[in-house]
Amino acid sequence: MSRKTIVSLPVAEITASSITGFQAECLPGEGTQSDLPPKPRFGSFLRVESSDTSIFAVAYNVITGPQDSVHKPSALGMTREELRLEQPHIFSLLKTEVHALLVGHGSDARIYQHLPPHPPDVHDFVYQATQEEIRELTSNFEFLRLLLNVSEIPSDELIAATIREAHLALGKDPTFLVEAGRALSNIMRSDYDRLLTILKKIRP
């Protein structure tokens, strides 16, 4: 399967990147009636098409805020419906950003579960990963090691959410949860209490 076959619209556009992660501004979805662009789910898998490489990441934060430092939102005491009627322009002053950690990269028909040789480029588009890509990314759960020791985010929550999102994307296959639990037990065998906490969080 070619990694350059794009079958969906981009969900975001990269505004900053590094070898370990990226920040991207969410884009309006086609035909959506929402006031704000669709937001990637916490722990969901994303793909970036960058040069000759497909780069894969996991969403760990989503932030909605002002477009600039001048037009800051303030509490107005109005419902969303009232805002749409009386101040519809207010939503255009906001933007939604997704922050993601890189967990793999691929070329041709193979995905590698380690950091890519280069970061994605600014203005590269971000897509939701396909079911087949998620299946390959979670084939042996080595990517979880990249999430375990990240200090600036609640990594236990992210690991559990990532497994739940993959389970959902793969059709809620119960075998997947069993395999994920076994992989976590092997990776975290020296930290039983932390392992138990994460296992409780991944139960459907």
Q: How far apart are CA 179 and CA 175, in angstroms?
A: 6
Q: How far apart are CA 112 and CA 130, in angstroms?
A: 16
Strand residues in the chain grouped as ranges (E): 12-17, 21-26, 45-50, 53-66, 94-107, 110-112, 125-128
Note whether 176 and 167 are within 8 A (CB): yes
- pLDDT of res. 1: 39
pLDDT over 90, % of the chain: 57
pLDDT in tens, 3-34: 445 557 899 999 999 999 999 999 986 655 56
Tell the residue number behind the tokens 């009232």, with chain if given.
Answer: 82
Domain ranges of the chain: 1-130, 138-204
pLDDT in tens, 28-82: 866 555 667 789 999 999 999 988 889 999 999 999 888 877 777 778 788 888 8
pTM above 0.85, yes or no: yes
- pLDDT of res. 48: 96
- pLDDT of res. 101: 96
- pLDDT of res. 110: 85
* End-to-end CA, the chain: 31
What's the mean pLDDT when you consider all of the chain? 87
Cα 80 off chain centre by: 27
Residue type, 165: E
Q: What is the mean pLDDT of residues 102-118?
A: 88
Q: What is the mean pLDDT of residues 192-204?
A: 89
Tell the residue number behind the tokens 């704000």, with chain if given.
Answer: 36
- pLDDT of res. 34: 62
Tell the residue number behind the tokens 């084939």, with chain if given.
Answer: 139
Higher pLDDT, 36 or 128: 128
Q: 203 pLDDT exceeds 80?
A: no
φ/ψ region of 86 (left if φ > 0, alpha if ψ in -120 to 50, else beta) reads alpha
- pLDDT of res. 52: 82
